[in-house]
Amino acid sequence: LLQLEPGEAALWCSSDPIEPAAPNTDPWEILPVRNVRVTMIEDQTELLSKQYSELPNQNFAEENPRFGGVIRYEFSVATTKTAKELKLHQVGETARLWINGIPCGAVTMTPFVFGIEHAWCEGENNLIIEVAVNQAYSRRDRFSTNAVLPPMGLFGDIQIR
């Protein structure tokens, strides 16, 4: 099993034909997310920490137009199901995931899907999702002042299968 750190890449060269793995056709199920702690961190300083009863579906750029750090979502989910994948509906800009303290990787583009089989367990699962926002929010120059930027944060449902 090859494990890469964020930003690393690997190239596999072989004359042997590789058969692609069969796609997972199990249906996605919405994860019931409750009691979410959202923390905004910039330059290793906690700027805002707030508790929500459910996953906030809001663009944090509206309240913090010059924020250029990480938005951390922390919550626990109790389940009787096993899961192999977790999908985030929409992320503004990149996301990293930890389940029960185990890193599950980073995603930078759609589909925002993580392999979680190694970390997910039946029972209580503690999730941390960190969304790194577009740095153009905090570092605007005269060329990017009117640039249309993606929303900041997580949007839509979190699903597992």
10-residue stretch averages of pLDDT, the chain, 161 residues long: 70 70 82 94 89 90 83 95 94 94 95 96 96 79 75 92 93
Q: For residue 18, what pLDDT is reported?
A: 65
Q: For residue 61, what pLDDT is reported?
A: 81
Residue with tokens 């796609």, as numbered in its chain: 23
8 Å CB contact between 59 and 131: no
Contacts of 131 (CB under 8 A, 6+ apart): 70, 71, 72, 73, 91, 92, 93, 94, 95, 152, 153, 154
